Amino acid sequence: MAIKHNQTLISNHFRKDWQRRVRTHFDQPGRKTRRRTARQAKAAALAPRPVDKLRPIVRCPTLKYNRRVRAGRGFTLTELKEAGISKSLAPTIGVSVDFRRQNLSEEGFAANVARLKAYKERLILLPPQVQRPQEG
């Protein structure tokens, strides 16, 4: 039997448990402190090592954002070669490498090479075996 005209809906209630379905963010300040302490614990556990890999400085694409600089995906092979780091050694000492990236400007290339050289000067490599330290 079809319903005609303006009758009330029978035996339908829309007062279900809505609190189970609503997502609240009252735990946001607690999560913020938890993330911060986790980052500090990770940095303390890695002690002398850096927490993240070394990444190049690149300019954002498009006309709107190209005055802004950010961290890129990885250094180019020519930047590594100019800094005196082999492409097989780079990932083992915490330097990210991007095989696809190209150098489009001399200023960016020089800045990234200087960044690599400064990192290489600060770098302290510990020998794999304490009994036989390597030269240099």
pLDDT at 70: 96
Residue 20: per-residue pLDDT = 80
* pLDDT for res 15: 72
pLDDT at res. 134: 64
Token duo for residue 17: 């448990």
Q: Which helix (H) or strand (E) holds 119?
A: helix 106-122
pLDDT for position 24: 87
* Residue-level pLDDT at 128: 75
* pLDDT score for 103: 95
Mean pLDDT by 10 residues, the chain (136 residues): 71 72 90 97 89 94 95 97 96 95 95 97 83 68
Closest by Cα among 121, 112, 125, 124 to 82: 112
